[in-house]
Amino acid sequence: MPPPFLLPVLLLVLPPSPQAAAAAEDICIVGSGISGASTAFFLTNYTAPYPAPQLRVFERRDRVGGRLATVTVAGEVFEAGGSIIHPRNLHVRRFADLLGLTAKTGGDDDEDWLGIWDGARFVFKTLRPPPPGSSWLRRKLHGLANSLLLLRRYGLSLLRMDSFVQEMLQKFMLYYNGFESRPVFDNVEEMLKWSGLYGLTRRTLEEELIDAGLNTQTISELVTVITRINYGQSTSISGLAGAVSLAGSESGLWSIKGGNWQLAAGLLKTANATLHLQEGIESISDAGDYYVLKSNKGHEYNCTVTVVATPLDEVNITFIPPISIPPRKMQHTHTTFVRGLLDPKFFGLSSVSDIPELIGTMELPDIPFSCISVRKKHGEHDMTYKIFSRVKLEDALLDQMFSTREETIRIDWPAYPHYQAPEDFAPIILDGRHLYYVNTFESAASAMETGAVAAENVARLIISRLPLGLRAGLSSAAVPEPHIESSAGEEEGPRRVDL
Ligand SMILES: Cc1cc2nc3c(=O)[nH]c(=O)nc-3n(C[C@H](O)[C@H](O)[C@H](O)COP(=O)(O)OP(=O)(O)OC[C@H]3O[C@@H](n4cnc5c(N)ncnc54)[C@H](O)[C@@H]3O)c2cc1C
Ligand SMILES: *[C@@H]1O[C@H](CO)[C@@H](O)[C@H](O)[C@H]1NC(C)=O
Ligand SMILES: *[C@@H]1O[C@H](CO)[C@@H](O)[C@H](O)[C@H]1NC(C)=O
Ligand SMILES: *[C@@H]1O[C@H](CO)[C@@H](O)[C@H](O)[C@H]1NC(C)=O
Ligand SMILES: *[C@@H]1O[C@H](CO)[C@@H](O)[C@H](O)[C@H]1NC(C)=O
């Protein structure tokens, strides 16, 4: 179902006049992850049927996708960065459809065999799943028994946690409204206030959940396991990042067969963007009517509009004149793939078959990892595991954890912001002119979909503020004034969800 994109915004962009074409008129995007690729896609999509502006995308690495990347172990492809997609992530779902990419369900998510580790023992375990190929009835009964087990331990807190997540999702869905009922936002605060989500960035997840009536055991066990898996952090992250991470524990999760990075590759292709691989941008200078981007290849590019589609926190781009944004730390997640076999003794167990397939952990000192999951059983004693940790897992430790280890792959990601409450947001328009920052929205929550939502807004914002050069040739009557509406206030609550 096509989204109800309204024409007035499309009318803003017409082919530039031949005279204007001599001047700089590129839109340059720094970063080829899902945010940069989505920005390119929406710019093209929203300006169709007119020829899109010339888009240049710069990527310092030799491949597109950024934090969407795969590794291959024993001939199998695994997601090393962003992996799961929520069924209600509508942009990503639409991208997959449009690009003809195949969805792969995350296996039987409900069947994941979870154990919660406190560093000394498993304080809680769901039931071992029935063997593959078991009857439908047996699997249903297993699911039911697990629900009862969870209910016995966490009680009503489970339902309260679910309502908390559903309420967030319902508000988030407003970002899919048509143009007629959804303003263009020029700052993140207003964007969040409009949907009613801003309040969740002012307080920690823990504060929000206590108010929502969750008991402390549920917060310190189940909720903590989930925030440590999805953001590598404790429940002191902001309520919004927390709610997004809890949504990532629901059922119906999926990913792209062959790798989520194909989303970025496909979007860049659809947008006809000129891709400059292995070309890092070192500086962005304001030259009056355009920006000069200097790359590490010694090249210069004149760009009318520049979009920064990478977190600025750990990259080294010099802005002339300098820009100022609130300091933000990135949470590093070390992703370690191990092909081998966990040692049951490390967990105080006597048999490998007693080790849960997903080991989540509580927020306690001395637990050296956030989670361990079996990604593939190649054989009875031959598995591929994925481990997340906040620090590098040294060989000495891995040797204690594993009885055999054939292959080890380590990736150190600047993974997502280190969330806090209240959260500060960098501006979307970095210089008050035509320098845009998509990844400021990551301070709300980091995910493929939030990248796409932020990019869609930035694309609309750019189109609504295009410099005159790009709008040349339009009769003044046809050019509506750039119009940026802002907050209608949180008090109004959620509006009609228009899918
Ligand atoms: C381990 C891990 C697990 C995750 N799990 C999930 C999940 O299950 N579901 C989910 O939705 N999200 C998940 N995420 C988050 C998700 O991956 C990110 O939010 C998303 O991929 C970010 O996309 P982006 O385009 O904004 O940034 P990036 O993907 O970081 O893209 C930025 C790009 O810019 C490039 N770049 C940087 N500086 C320059 C420069 N100077 N010049 C040129 N290029 C430059 C970088 O090389 C990079 O390719 C996870 C992330 C990690 C790390
Ligand atoms: C724009 O996106 C819609 C899907 O959201 C798609 O059907 C359409 O073909 C796209 N158009 C262009 C020109 O990319
Ligand atoms: C992309 O480029 C091709 C070939 O130049 C052209 O046929 C196609 O219409 C372009 N698509 C868009 C969306 O501009
Ligand atoms: C950028 O614009 C300036 C001024 O018009 C011009 O001198 C320069 O050659 C341009 N550079 C490129 C790479 O087009
Ligand atoms: C950033 O660049 C400056 C100057 O080129 C250099 O001194 C500094 O070490 C770099 N920092 C990082 C984090 O790469």
Coil, strand or helix at 122: strand
- pLDDT given for residue 460 in this prediction: 96
- pLDDT given for residue 489 in this prediction: 36
- pLDDT given for residue 51 in this prediction: 74
Mutate to test the pocket of ligand 1, among 279, 310, 358 (most ligand atoms within 8 A of CB): 310
Whether the per-residue pLDDT at 488 is higher than 60: the answer is no
Tally the C-alpha atoms within 13 A of residue 192's C-alpha that lie toward its C-beta: 24
Which range among 134-143, 439-448, 469-478 shows the weakest confidence by mean pLDDT? 469-478
Q: Letter for the amino acid at 31?
A: G
Whether the per-residue pLDDT at 95 is higher than 80: the answer is yes
Check if 267 has its Cβ closer than 6 Å to any atom of ligand 3.
no
d(CA 240, CA 410): 30
Tally the C-alpha atoms within 13 A of residue 435's C-alpha that lie toward its C-beta: 23
Question: Based on C-alpha coordinates, what's the Rg of the chain?
Answer: 24
> How big is the chain, counted in residues?
499
d(CA 210, CA 11): 49
| Sheet architecture: strand order including 358-361 | 122-125, 114-117, 358-361, 371-379, 382-389, 330-342, 402-417
Q: Whose CA is nearest to atom 6 of ligand 3?
A: 272
Whether the per-residue pLDDT at 449 is higher than 80: the answer is yes
Average pLDDT over residues 131-140: 88
> How crowded is residue 138: how many other Cβ atoms within 10 Å of its Cβ?
13
Kindly list the domain boundaries of the chain, sorted by start residue.
1-106+179-210+238-329+421-499, 107-154+330-417
Whether the per-residue pLDDT at 109 is higher than 50: the answer is no
* pLDDT tens digits along 280-323: 999 999 999 999 999 999 999 999 999 999 999 999 999 999 99
Domain 1-106+179-210+238-329+421-499: CATH architecture, name and number where available:
3-Layer(bba) Sandwich (3.50)
Whether the per-residue pLDDT at 385 is higher than 80: the answer is yes
Give the 3-state secondary structure of 48-77.
CCCCCCCEEEEECCCCCCCCCCEEEECCEE
Q: Whose CA is nearest to atom 7 of ligand 1?
A: 82
Whether the per-residue pLDDT at 79 is higher than 60: the answer is yes
* pLDDT tens digits along 154-174: 999 999 999 999 999 999 999
Helix axes 157-172, 136-154, angle to 10 degrees: 100
Helix (H) or strand (E) holding 383: strand 382-389
Q: Which residue has the higher pLDDT, 392 or 24?
A: 392
- Helix ranges, 359-409 (H): 395-401
- pLDDT given for residue 451 in this prediction: 98
Mutate to test the pocket of ligand 1, among 35, 67, 89, 90 (most ligand atoms within 8 A of CB): 67
- DSSP E strand stretches across 227-326: 254-256, 274-277, 281-286, 291-295, 300-308, 318-320
From residue 371, give the alpha-carbon distance in Å to each of 119, 221, 286, 359, 374. Answer: 12, 13, 45, 5, 10
Whether the per-residue pLDDT at 487 is higher than 70: the answer is no
d(CA 272, CA 96): 17
- pLDDT given for residue 21 in this prediction: 39
57 alpha carbon, closest ligand: 1
Average pLDDT over residues 247-276: 96
- pLDDT given for residue 466 in this prediction: 83
pLDDT grade for 250, boundaries at 50, 70 and 90:
confident
Average pLDDT over residues 79-92: 97
Check if 44 has its Cβ closer than 6 Å to any atom of ligand 3.
yes
* pLDDT tens digits along 46-58: 988 877 679 999 9
Whether the per-residue pLDDT at 452 is higher than 60: the answer is yes
- pLDDT given for residue 121 in this prediction: 97
Whether the per-residue pLDDT at 16 is higher than 90: the answer is no
Average pLDDT, the chain: 89
Coil, strand or helix at 331: strand
Q: Across-strand partners of 78?
A: 71
Count H helices, E strands: the chain?
15, 19
Tally the C-alpha atoms within 13 A of residue 86's C-alpha that lie toward its C-beta: 21
